[in-house]
Structure 1
Amino acid sequence: MQYPRKSYRIYFILLLIISCTGERSTNSKNNDSAAHNRTRYFYETVKATEDTREKIIYLDSALASIKNSRDTLLPLLLDYKIFYHNSLKEYDTSFFYVDSLISLSGAHRDTANLAKAFYRKARIYNYLGEQEEVFSNSFESRRYYLAAGDSSQAGRRTLEMALAQISGGDYLGSQETATEALSLLEQEKDSVYFSSVHNIIAQVYHERELYNDAVPEYRNALRFAPSLSDSLSILNNLALVYRDNKDFDKAIATWDEILGKADSKTKILRYEDNRAFTRWLKDSTQDVETELLDVLRLRQELDEEIGLQASYSHLLKYYLDKNEALSRKYSEELLKLTRKHKNAGMELTALQNLIPISPLPQTRSYFQRYIHLSDSLQMASINAKNFFAKIRFDEERKQEEIISLEAENRIQDLEAQRMRTRTLIGSLIALLLLLALSFLIYYLRQRFKREKIREVHKTESRISKVIHDELANDIFNVMSSLEAVAPAPVVDQLEKIYLRTRDISRENSDIETGENYITYLKAALTNITPRDSRLIISGETKVNWSRLQEEKKIVIYRVLQELLVNMKKHSGAKLVAVSFAENNKFVEINYSDNGRGLNWKRARKGSGLQNVENRLSSLNGKIEFESREGKGFRVKILIPS
């Protein structure tokens, strides 16, 4: 078999180059659109044209206009090319285009067009009579149709596989494949194919001489027969079963029935020939010679060589015991015709008849040919069976390997998923542990801060008590004992020291943090404020003091105390304002006075304001200072609520 001309090869290479093209610019896409319109024009012209050659010319123009291998018309145009070249029996060209369609569809992972392409290839091999290739390509087509989920088309391809097997002599394999086709076909949609499947199964039973099994299958084939012509062919096959089962009356009655309905001269001759021969088989004394010869003459006039083989076969048997010369004559005619049409089965029939009635030299030649042909047919049948079985076996093994590989992949995926799950769980556990540890550290730090604040407060209270109970009393006693003898300035100085000691004691005394906290806070702040200064407190009722922790209340008190003491010592302010507010996250305190203000950089180095910052930082609080010398002093304090 020769393949297409060089231009076709170049075109195929161009298709492959097109299929590898990547993304293009907007201008290229516009060109593709214009090319698609030209292709569509040629495609519509093909459909409107009657002459096959003209169709092919327009198809070539359409293919040449395609610029993008993903053009949806490309597979359709290739399919048309295959069909029309087949109709002209240009099978070499058809092979080229079907291979192009397979390559294109494979590159684009187009399962539907791959299935169609292998079906077309099987049809080409069917025209050439290569049944093994028909089976192989139909098998591939079925595989892709199943992958595409098209059970109906898969069933049709399975039917074609069965037909290829029966043509190759694999009757048992054909029956198995035909039965498989029944499970894939849809009864309403594929009734025509149901008829063919049952007809194949019946033929297999007939070939195996299982006549009683063949009859109901032919009856089933009749149920689904799509036309009168098909029904008549099935009834003819049924009559042959009756004849071979020696039920001659049923066979003759069936031919009598269908002869009145036959729709062509060829079929009428077939039915008449079969009926006459069956009447002779039933009763060899019946004179059917005229009928058999009339059918032969009419077949010769029609040049109907397939029918002539049946006539020669019947006549050589009819004359075998009546006229040896005529029997040999029709045997030789059958031999020539079967060799011409390569009908090995009928050639064996002719040789089998010629061997006992031919001269010795010819007998030896016929016998050698008979042995050779018989062995060849047997070997061909065995090879065909092995070939068909091998294709099935290889495919089943491939599917098993695929299933096994998929199972392995699933196991690996599951194992990988387990590993990912274990890793995720481990990560979550580690994260939870880290969060728990972080929370524990945070909790311990906060507790430490609270305890530190409480401890500082206790220390301050203890110092305050010592100062009040010991130092202040000692100073008071000294001052009292010296009052009568010491100069007045000394006594006044001692009194000032005593008052300062008492103030320090008060400043560091215990703080009320319970329900009366705000009352205590206001009173304490008022006491700290100098008598010639005015203190305004606002917004204290807007804060939910009951939910504020004890440590925070202490810090608020100490910070405000520090600010007022600082004001008293350095500011000389006459007006002091303290406001409270609360949002979801913070207690906000704003302090301001109209004093002299201060240089913040210098003031920050002192212990007073530094204490304020330290106390707030222990609670993660924030403080913002705003002060300039001679412009007053403002502070914004934020404490987490």
Structure 2
Amino acid sequence: MKIPQIIIIFLAGLTLTSCKKEIKIDNEEVKPGIGEIYFQKGIKEKDPKQMLSNFKEGMANVDSRKDSISLYLLDGIIYVQKRQNNYKAALDYTDSLIKTAELQKNTYFVALGYYRKAAVFQALNNSEEAFKNYYTSRDLFLQIGDSSRAGQRSVEMANAQSRMADYHGSQENATSALKLLLKAKDSSYINSAYNAIAISYRERGFYEDAIKEYRNALRYSISTKDSLSFLNNIALAYRDNGNYPSALSTFKGVLDKMEVADEDSKARFIDNYAYTKWMQDSSSPVLDELTQALELRLKSKDLDGLTASYEHFSNYYEKEKPALALDYALKWLETAKKNSSQHSELNALKRIIRISPGESSKIYTNRFITLNDSLQNAQLKAKNTFAKIKFDEEQKQQEINNLEAETIKQHLETEELKNQILIASLLGLLLVVSSGFAFYYLRQKHEKEKIKESYQTESRISKKIHDELANDIYNIMSELQKIAPNNMIDKLEQIYKRTRNISKENSSIPMGENYQTHLLSTLSSTISANTKLILRGENKINWSNIKPEKKIILYRVLQEIMINMNKHSNASLVAIVFSEEKNFLKIHYSDNGIGVTDVKLKSGNGVQNMENRILSIKGSLNFETSKEKGLSIVIQIPI
């Protein structure tokens, strides 16, 4: 067998980081020599240690600056190191592969090196670094015209974003992958692209769309095993949508053919089928099936599967045997920790806190709050990272884009000249139609101007308080420092602090992309050291779609709520949940403070001011409170 053919076979077998077809070198020529001898010996070995020894011996006997066989040897070393879970060594060798390929000006292997590096980071559950390296690898494959591998990297980018809960970004990259893969006619990865899109839809609650995309993935399935996996996902989407008959029917079809599946897949299909039956009818006798799935997962040490089984058992026993349900929830938590799955750990903590008796749940509350904050920060960081990478790449193409834009502009100007006569003839009609909307528009404009004027007045007063009044008080304090009694200086200092706080509460608000960050910072800064703040859903809101005047009102109202909470509630826990429902932005505030009576609530000027602000943008503000039982506020504004 010729050397290039052996290399092709070996590289095609390096599929540890993917279940798809891997490397295939068509035009690489390797000159005979001692490096090839050790490479051939290495790929024929079954023992990973002997394989690694041969690859390293080959590297010791070649000039890596010139000899192309060094690239294959380095790739082989990376394969073995990753296979043996020596991730640090694998990362070091990926760097060597990239540098050597750059030195030899071999773009293919540079792209391959970044891909190997991404796969190692993915094995380490570092999706952010994995995404960065997949992105670089894709860009390099595009440079050499390899649409197939560029599409494959796009799918892996989408999967990395999905693991970081950036489902919008995941869908975008999976759609880009489809264009490349269809162009290259690479059906082996097309199903993965559709699967990523389906996951994005399902995680956001668009179950019918998810089912449609799973069926597209099924059409491009290349094995019975893959087909069963996609059918399983379709059944889960049916279940999530409450369509239990369709879910069970689909699961039944999977179970009838699962003899070709591996043990982990069999356990997954059995567990999902049994749990769906129980969800449809809690009296269904499914305990034996749930237990069978759990035993298979314990035997194979499938941590992902075990977290699912423990969750299902906790639900199964919650009403009849709460103590046993709690025991399974604790097992769920421990397994999630072993699996480094923070999302699963967070869900397990929620279950434990909910079903734990008495005060025992408190020991898990702090961990839940810390982990929830950590995950939200990680998701925000990841989204910003993905956006920055995309922005940097777009900047590189700016010059070309500008030229294209200029061409388009010239074309539009030519078309505009042609359309002037038509526009003139329609102008009269447009004026007649627009007159019907004039009153409404002017009224809306007046309301917006009132809000903006109020905001500008607040900002102007804030600046005057800060620049003039506060500074004057500070100067007086400095002059009286040596002659006035301490109690007088303390009183002046309190007045100074109050002026600074008033200035801060009415300071200017950024309306652009920093609005969310500034809003969250303001909410957090009003929290005392003894109070925990939980924020959820803020990253799912498209803030850019909300008009400036509504952003101002929302900011001021939330600021007033938090200030009142800090002054009066004595709350130890505050939660603010953001969500979009149809055409409304909904904010649900709640705390565990001392509450307030309805009489006192209605008599407060602060509440009246908040209501007036919200009503000015056609929103609503509802309070639910009673003494000693905390306060709940629901805000809705149209978007």
1:275 aligns with 2:273: yes
Alignment match, 2:522: none
CA contact (8 A) 2:74 2:97 kept: yes
1:354 aligns with 2:352: yes
Scaled by the length of structure 2, what TM-score is found?
A: 0.55
Deviations 1:342-379 (CA, angstroms, capped at 9, x unpaired)? 22222222222222332444211222222222222222
- Relative distance call for 1:68 and 1:334 in structure 2 (3 A) is closer
Alignment match, 1:121: 117
Alignment match, 2:385: 387
Comparing 190-199 with 335-344, greater Cα deviation is found at 335-344
Alignment of 1:87-166 (within 5 A): 87-166=83-162
CA contact (8 A) 1:131 1:165 kept: yes
Alignment match, 1:622: none
Cα deviation for residue 70 of structure 1 reads 2.1
Cα deviation for residue 336 of structure 1 reads 1.6
Scaled by the length of structure 1, what TM-score is found?
A: 0.55
Cα deviation for residue 147 of structure 1 reads 0.8
- Relative distance call for 1:271 and 1:150 in structure 2 (3 A) is same
Cα deviation for residue 284 of structure 1 reads 2.5
Alignment of 1:615-626 (within 5 A): none
Alignment match, 2:363: 365
Aligned-pair Cα RMSD in Å:
2.5
CA contact (8 A) 2:267 2:292 kept: no
User: Counterpart of 2:36 in 1: which secondary structure?
Assistant: helix
User: Counterpart of 2:327 in 1: which secondary structure?
Assistant: helix
Gap regions ≥5 residues in structure 2: 1-30, 407-639
1:288 aligns with 2:286: yes
Cα deviation for residue 189 of structure 1 reads 4.0
Question: Match for 1:52: what amino acid?
Answer: P
Question: Match for 2:174: what amino acid?
Answer: A
From 327, 330, 343, the equivalent of 2:328 is 330
Alignment match, 2:235: 239
Question: Match for 1:289: what amino acid?
Answer: L
User: Counterpart of 2:85 in 1: which secondary structure?
Assistant: coil
State the percentage of identical aligned residues: 41
From 312, 315, 321, the equivalent of 1:314 is 312
Cα deviation for residue 93 of structure 1 reads 2.2
Number of residues of Structure 1 aligned to a counterpart in Structure 2: 375
From 202, 214, 217, the equivalent of 2:213 is 217
User: Counterpart of 2:33 in 1: which secondary structure?
Assistant: helix
Deviations 1:25-58 (CA, angstroms, capped at 9, x unpaired)? xxxxxxxxxx962333333333333332222222
Instruction: Return the alpha-carbon distance in structure 2 between the equivalents of residues 58 and 276 of structure 1.
Output: 50
Instruction: Return the alpha-carbon distance in structure 2 between the equivalents of residues 108 and 404 of structure 1.
Output: 34
Alignment match, 1:39: 35
CA contact (8 A) 2:303 2:336 kept: no
CA contact (8 A) 1:36 1:65 kept: no
User: Counterpart of 2:354 in 1: which secondary structure?
Assistant: helix
CA contact (8 A) 2:311 2:332 kept: yes
- Relative distance call for 1:197 and 1:292 in structure 2 (3 A) is same
Alignment match, 2:343: 345
- Relative distance call for 1:407 and 1:180 in structure 2 (3 A) is closer
Question: Match for 2:355: what amino acid?
Answer: I
Alignment of 1:491-502 (within 5 A): none
Question: Match for 1:54: what amino acid?
Answer: Q
From 182, 187, 193, the equivalent of 1:191 is 187
- Relative distance call for 1:300 and 1:92 in structure 2 (3 A) is closer
Which of structure 1's runs of 4+ aligned residues deviate more than 6 A?
Answer: 402-408
Question: Match for 2:328: what amino acid?
Answer: Y
Instruction: Return the alpha-carbon distance in structure 1 between the equivalents of residues 58 and 397 of structure 2.
Output: 40
Instruction: Return the alpha-carbon distance in structure 1 between the equivalents of residues 64 and 74 of structure 2.
Output: 14
Alignment of 1:431-446 (within 5 A): none
Instruction: Return the alpha-carbon distance in structure 2 between the equivalents of residues 394 and 322 of structure 1.
Output: 56
Larger-Rg structure: 1
Alignment of 1:519-598 (within 5 A): none
Instruction: Return the alpha-carbon distance in structure 2 between the equivalents of residues 195 and 55 of structure 1.
Output: 34
1:399 aligns with 2:397: yes
Question: Match for 2:58: what amino acid?
Answer: A
- Relative distance call for 1:370 and 1:140 in structure 2 (3 A) is same
Alignment match, 1:252: 248
Gap regions ≥5 residues in structure 1: 1-34, 409-641
CA contact (8 A) 1:313 1:349 kept: no
